[in-house]
Chain A
């Protein structure tokens, strides 16, 4: 597709369940980012991939959060043993250049709205 695609658009889970969120970046984009956006707040950085390598995971809030991009295209964000404070919109973005290679805008998907009951 022409843009970043995320699925599912909405996810409701009970506290303690595991969830998996998918991101399809723009074809050929080297860089992939995950952000978490709480209600009424700006997005907060979670993790960064350059191709299949996870180069920065400094924003992941706990070891319950895990992200992967095994073939350098599609990425999955997994949250284990979900808690109510995990409720947020999870945004994925991609960019055509690797970090430090220049200035290219990040292109965002519409996000997955996660609600933990």
Chain B
């Protein structure tokens, strides 16, 4: 299995630009999570989907952030407009809930975002 795939791996952009991060979960997994990692706040959950439906987006910092999951094999996290404080590593993770809650989440390699 290829694991969770994220693109791009690195992104450098200027303040005010739109940024789109992409994630392909592990085939057969039906839950997908977006996390953000910063030195100040550590790892924090932004949003998660079950069967392509957003379940909890309480971690999304503000309206500039949006996430979609149009099908079981693809999700995007968009920041528009981007700000320097959005600079972080963004992780996508997926899990199969077939075995019940608490199934292990498998993480992608992350996207390192730098907003200048």
User: Do the two chains bind?
Assistant: no
The interface of chain B, by Cβ under 8 A from chain A, is none
The interface of chain A, by Cβ under 8 A from chain B, is none
